[in-house]
Structures are given as C-alpha cells and as structure tokens.
Structure 1
Amino acid sequence: MVFLVNLARVVFAPLLEYIAADFGVTVGSLGVVASAAWLGSALPRVPTGWLLTRIDRHTVVVGAGGVLTAAATLTASAPNVPALAAGAFLMGLASGVYFIAANPLVSELFPEGVGRALGIHGMASQTAAAGAPVIVIAVVAAFGDWRSTFLVVAVVAALTTAVLYLVGRRADLPDAGSDDRDLLGAARAQLPIILTGVLVTGSVGFVWNGLFNYYPTYMQAKDLDPQTASLMLSVLFTAGIPAFFLTGRLADRVPNVPLLLAVVAGFTACLFVLPHVTGLWPLVVFSVVLGYTIHSLFPAVDTYLLGTLPDRHRASAYTAYSATMMLPQAFGGGVVGSLTESGVTFDAMYTAFAAGLTVVLAALVALYLAGRLPVGRVGESQTGV
C-alpha cells in the first residue's frame, strides 16, 4: 500500500508533459496540479490524527486504500485542468491519511529497531517514486493514453485494500498507542521536537517539491531529450531506495540531530552545484548524489521523532508535525511553476533556494550548539523529550 500511496503523489511529475499536450496548456501552468496532490496530502493529517485517538491504526490504513481507489478512478476521467487538480488533491488525501496512520504503526510493530523498520517502509515507498517515470512510459506506450495510468492505480489499490482488510482482521496488532487520546495535549507537551522537525522538513521539503516536480523539464533545459530527461527523474528517485534503508539503520546508531544537520547541509550544497552541471553522464552522477542525499532526510527525521516520542503521545504529536510540515511542501511545485511562467530561470531559482536553506541551516546549527534543540535518539539509546 505504501508503494501505491506514494505513487499517487509523485506520478504527476512524469505525466505533466503528456497532460500539457492533451489539454493544450503549458507545463508551468500545471504546477497547480502537482501542488494539489501535496496539499491533499497535508490537509487530512490533523483530522486523521484525531481519528486515530478513536479508531485502530490498521482500520484507517484500509480506509486510505478505499479513498485512493475512488480518487484514482475520478482522476482518470478528468475533463480539464481544474478537475484534474481536484483528482490530484483526493489522491494526495489518501496518502496523507495513510502515512499518519502507518508510520506510528510501523514504529510500534518494531520498537527495538525503529530506524531500520521505517527505512524499509520508506524504501518500499521510494520504489514507487523511482519507478513512476518508467511506469508512466510503459503504461502510455501500452495504452496510448496518460489516463490509463490512473486506472491501473485504481485497480491495484482496490486489490491491495482488500488484502490488507483480510490480514488486519487476523493479525495480532500492538496496542502501544492505546493511551494516546489527546491530540492537542500531546502537541503541547512535545512542542520543541515538533517544531524542530517542522523547521527541517518544511523548509527542505518545499525546495525538494519544487525541484523534483520540474526535474524532467529542467533536464530538458540542460539539452537532454524528453525521454532521457524523464528517465533522469527515475535516477533521482532510485538513488533514494538505498538511502532509506542505510540512513534508517544509521539513525539507530548515531545521534539524530547531527545526522539531520549533515543531510540538510548536503542537500544545500547540491543545490548550489546543480546549475553548473551539464552533460549526460555528469547529470546522471549528480542525480544519484542528489537523490541519495535528499532521501536520507526522511528516515532520519522520522526516526528522530517516532523513536523519541513516548507511546502516550506518539501518533498525535507526529500528526501535529506531519500536518504542519506538509503545508509549505505542498506549495513548492506551484511556486516553481509560477516563477518559471514569469520568466525566472531554473538556475537562478534553485540558487536562491539554496541561499535560503543556508540561513535555515545556520539557525539550526546555532540552536544545537546552544543546547536549544531536543536531542532525540542517541545511538541505540532513547531519550525522553
């Protein structure tokens, strides 16, 4: 299921060129569609967190599968851009519901190896992102229509949801979050660690969303042909598969805050270098480095939060973090699309974003050195916050 819900968020990036040609619009004008998917992923997170104080996590996961099935079916029949944006929003909504329920569940199923478990879960998610361009090319080649991609997602989501429902009825699931019944109380109690996570993931995620949604278009601006440019997005995402697994394991063994700062520093450095990289093979190598670096952020920050938050606050506090950090991320694609439509070049834009992240990184380092950031997990031990 995690493969499908993440595919629902990222599948629009490799489809933008096809959709633009079909609807007779520019790729930049479709930034609203990419943003709609991520906005949809952001908005249901607080309601889902409240729902989790009353309903079992696995039941909510099954519900997310049902929403995805219906949303993908509706998206496949969208007659215009506004309808397509509405479908993207609903597909994103399914992913938001899923991740709020599933990530705490995974951490509770494997309490002795939170980073490793989240890394494997994230690796399955990242496989969808890596495979999205290839899946799109294959489906469009087979059926000759970008809409078929969403019909395939709908069918597979329906089958997967049915299987999860049957497995959930028979499995012996943990009740570690049974005392997590006060969403606002948990958010207040865990505010420092929530704000730290939001500052890191919200800022970096905004830039990342604005980068990967236009990565094929940017690669074409660097003189790659359209198909190669689309496959470059696959390279970018494929590099994230080992990043989830390896960084997840690393997060169980080293102090989490220095690890997070190192990842942010690495991503920022990549943004400064990106405008100066040209040629097919240099871009392939750079995409591998960039993809590995940015995808290391997600298992690192999830381990920091879910491995540190106590059982009585885990799902609710994670909901507060996730809902808040997703809002700036959701607008990344739309902002980049609007800026390119107004004539701003990708090189100038991403250099400016890198400068902004440098300011954020400097603030985080200063807070860490001053002892003002929650320390989170330290190696194999766990500290309370």
Structure 2
Amino acid sequence: MNQLEVRAAGALSLVFALRMLGLFMLLPILALSTEQIDGATPALIGVAMGAYGLSQAVLQIPAGLLSDRIGRKPVIVGGLLIFFAGSLLAASSSSVEALIAGRFLQGAGAIAAAVTALLADLTREENRTKSMAIIGMSIGVSFCTAMVLGPLLNDTFGLSGLFMVSAVMSVLAIGLVIWGVPTPVRQKANRETVTALSSLRQILGHRQLLRLNAGVFILHFILIALFIHLPLALQNLAGLPADQHWWVYLLTMVISFFAMVPFIVVGEKRRMIRTVLQGAILLLLVAQLLIWKSSANLGFLVVSVLLFFMAFNYLEATLPSLVSRIAPAGSRGTAMGAFSTCQFLGAGIGGLVSGYIYQQFGETGIFILVAIATALWWLLSVTMNNPPYVSSLVMDLYPVVPSEASRVSDGIATVTGVREVSLAVEEQTAYLKVDRQQLDEQHLRQFGDW
C-alpha cells in the first residue's frame, strides 16, 4: 500500500471507529438507566437500544446511492452532523421519548456505504481487501473498547455525559473526513463496493445469501437481547455494582478476541468454514443457556459471557467474508448492502421485541426468545452449501467494443483459476471470482490489468 492508501485506510477506519464507539458505549448502560429516565420501562428502553438500528437499516442504502450522485464526503459529513444532532438531543433528554428520538437520529446518520465507497475510490484493487480488513478490525476494536469505556464513563459523567462524549467523537470524525481523508480525483463505478439497484432483486432471491442475511439478523437480534438482560443480571443477581462492570467486559472481550483466531485459521486452512460456523452457532446457544442458569453466580456468569463473545466475535468476522465469496461476480457491493441492512434491522427489531418480552416475562422469556432464534439459525446453517474458496477481482479491460464482449468473456473464463466472469463493457471492467492458489495471472493479463 502506498502512502495515500495507508492514509485513506487509517483515517476512514478511525472515522468508522469513532462513530461506532459512540453507538456501542450505550449498550451496557441503557438497561441500568430505567430509574433515571422519566417514563422509562424495560420495553421502552429496548426501543431506545434498537432505535439506531431501525433508522440505519432504512437509510444506509439510500445514503450510499446519494453519495454516487453528490460525492462521498458531503454524505459522510452530513451523516456525522445528523449523528451529532442525535447525540445532543439524547444528552439533553429528560424523557424516554426524547431519548428514543435521539437514538433514532443517531442511526439516521448512516455513513457506512459512503465510507466503503470512498475507500474504494482511494485504493487500488490489489490493496482494497487489506483496506477493508483494516476498517473491519477498527469496528471490532471499537466494539470491545466501547464495552469497557461505557461503564467507566457512565460512572464519571452519567448517561447524558456519554451522549456528549459521542457528540465530541462525531466532531472529531468530521475533522478527519475534511482534513485527514484524501479527496479522490474521480469516483469509481465499482459494483464490488457500491449497491446497484439493478442487482438487488437477484441478491434478495439468492438462497445462500438469504441464509447469511438471516444469520446476521439473528446475531444482532441476540446481541441486543443480551444487553437487555446482562447488565441487570450482573448488578441485581450476581451482586456486581454497575461501576465494576467494565472489568467483566474487558476480560471477556480480550480473551474472546484472541480465542476466535484459531477457529478462523482452522476453518480457512482446512476448508471447514461451514462446520466451524455451525459449531459457533451451537456455542452461542449453549452460552445463552449458561447465562440464564448462572446469573446468580458471578464466576459462572463471567465464563458464560466469555463463551458468548467467543462465538459472537467469530460469527461477526466470518459472515461478511462468506457474503463476499458467495455473492455473484460484480454484485458484492449490492450483497453487502443487503447484508448490512439485515444486520442493523436485527439490532432494531431485537430491541423492540426483547424489551417487551423482558417486561412481560422476565429473563426466562428472554432466554426462550433467543434460544428459538438461535436454533432456527442453526437449522438454516445445516442446509447451507459449502462456501466456494474464491476471492473477488476487479480487472480494468483493454479496450473492448460491445460486439467483442462475448468473445472476451469466454476467453477470460478459460483462464486457469477463474471461476466466474461478469463483463461490464460500458465500464470497461471485468468482475471475476478467482481461486488465487490456481490463478494463471500471466494468461489473465492478456485481457486487462488490475
């Protein structure tokens, strides 16, 4: 990666991390704040927890499409300003309704698609996967950091102070976008990184992608349900004061982060991703059972939470990579857009449903709810095909006229290691699925470069 690419990846990763940190810090805190907020009930706290997911699910694809028309940076800065406004509204709220409105507004600043597209504009094809991985890591680190910082900052500044910290972070992110992120000379029409409405129907009807979309929906549904119950269990059942919750999250997050790595390596090297994925879903189910049964014992509860996050972190890292592999050539951007929408929708609906269930039926109701959802996901995973061990490649074609498109496409398809070809003559681009271990690059470069 050259200096510009490193600068772009680093700055945009930090932008992502600052925004997600502001969202995630509230997860371990909101369930404990019922008595501090006028009109709050467990059901309405659940709505407040998931509100950001609903607005983000609705707006992230439209925001990405808008960035194609007016530019990436205006959409990103605009989204961060909306997030800033939502944080201020939530910080000044004295009622649960105002808190919900603030959380909804935070999510409305949906910048994920525009940030991804801007990174694609600023990086070369051979370095794009590395750049996307840096952003993915920054989101994971921000989640882990938020679980620790949330309880610590809440103890010092209170709930309104947490929202003010989120507002400050959004201002820092705006400064990074304006002065830290390079401005691309031109926007690239790359179907591997942006959503194409023409492909959306095909993606939504793809059975294997539907299983992954359902999986990420359930995963984030379960995550929000966990934080409806877990902070209260730590405080009221296990006897751990709220200002000490941080060490539970620090311990479980750090250990689980490293514990998932061997499973990723085994799944990749031995081509056992499907098997390891099914095992992780079962571990998720077992961990939830243990959390339910061990809530009154702090030691057992911490171990149960550790098992939960081992499974969660593995699945959170693996599902997007499976979407990239399974998505048809030239449709990865659309597939990831649908996948992210389901992810945020799961968080939103998870808050709505689990808050109500907790209010009506308590922790037993929460466990039954998430156990059914996880079991359904496991059944879906059993019927999933083995994923192809391929990667995407976007190739700039040597000049091709429409009448030669079929011949060029057939020629590329004969190259050793090429598994799928999608030619976009109007873009002078070929979108490929390739087996990197077998790819004959010298032969492929007869048709174009990357």
Q: What is residue 362 of structure 2 aligned with on the other side?
A: 345
Q: Distance in 1 between matches of 2:418 and 2:253?
A: 31
Aligned-residue offset at 1:300: 0.8
2:176 aligned with 1:168: no
Match of 1:208 among 223, 239, 255: 223
Aligned residue number for residue 162 of structure 2: 149
How far off its partner does 1:210 sit?
A: 1.0
CA distance in structure 2 between the aligned counterparts of 1:246 and 1:93, rounded to whole angstroms: 37
CA root-mean-square deviation: 3.6
Residue of structure 1 in register with 2:146 after alignment = 132
- Structure 2: runs of 5+ lacking an equivalent: 1-14, 393-416, 421-432, 434-450
1:84: Cα distance to partner? 0.9
Instruction: Note the C-alpha offset of 1:291.
Output: 1.0
Describe the SS at the equivalent of 1:169. Answer: coil
1:296 is aligned, of 310, 314, 336, to 314
2:79–2:111 Cα contact (<8 Å) kept: yes
User: Residue 379 and residue 101 in structure 1: after superposition, are their counterparts in 2 closer, same or farther (change >3 A)?
Assistant: closer
Alpha-carbon spacing, 1:135–1:353, altered in 2? closer, same or farther (3 Å): closer
| 1:39–1:326 Cα contact (<8 Å) kept | yes
| SS of 1:44 mapped into structure 2 | helix
Secondary structure of 1:146's counterpart equals helix
**What secondary structure is seen at the aligned counterpart in 1 of 2:139?**
helix
Residues 341 and 202 of structure 1, relative CA distance in 2, 3 Å threshold: same
If the length of structure 2 is used for normalisation, what is the TM-score? 0.71
Work out the CA distance in 2 between the residues paired with 1:181 and 1:290: 33
Task: Work out the CA distance in 2 between the residues paired with 1:106 and 1:130.
Answer: 24
Which residue type is aligned with residue 131 of structure 1? T
- 2 CA distance for matches of 1:100 and 1:7? 18
> 3-state DSSP class of the match of 1:54?
helix
Q: Out of 374, 387, 399, which is 1:357 matched to? A: 374
Aligned position for 2:232: 217
Structure 1 runs not aligned, ≥5 long: none
Report matched runs for 1:171-320 at 5 Å: 175=188, 177=190, 183-190=196-203, 191-192=205-206, 193-227=208-242, 228-229=244-245, 231-239=247-255, 241-242=257-258, 253=269, 254=271, 256-277=273-294, 278-309=296-327, 312-320=330-338
Following superposition, the deviation at residue 171 of structure 1 comes to 5.9
Percent of aligned pairs with the same amino acid: 20
> For structure 1, which segment, 127-136 or 208-217, has the greater mean C-alpha deviation from structure 2 after superposition?
127-136
Counterpart residue number, 1:43: 58
Aligned 1:55-134 pairs, distance under 5 A: 55-57=70-72, 60-94=75-109, 97-103=110-116, 109=123, 118-134=132-148
Residues 86 and 101, structure 2, Cα contact 8 Å, conserved in 1: no
Q: Deviations over 1:265-291 (max 9, x none)?
A: 221222233223352233223222211
Distance 2:263 2:85 in 1: 35
**1:49/1:194 Cα in 2 relative to 1: closer, same or farther (>3 Å)?**
farther
- Displacement after TM superposition at 1:87 (Å): 0.5
Deviation of 1:330 (Å): 1.0
1:341 is paired with a residue of what secondary structure?
A: helix
Q: Which has the higher strand share?
A: 2
Q: Which of 1 and 2 has higher RCO (CA within 8 Å, sep 6+)?
A: 1
Conservation of the 8 A alpha-carbon contact between 2:120 and 2:188:
no
**Structure exhibiting the larger radius of gyration computed from Cα positions:** 2
Is contact 1:114-1:307 (8 Å) kept? no
Contact 1:264 1:361 in 2 (8 A): yes
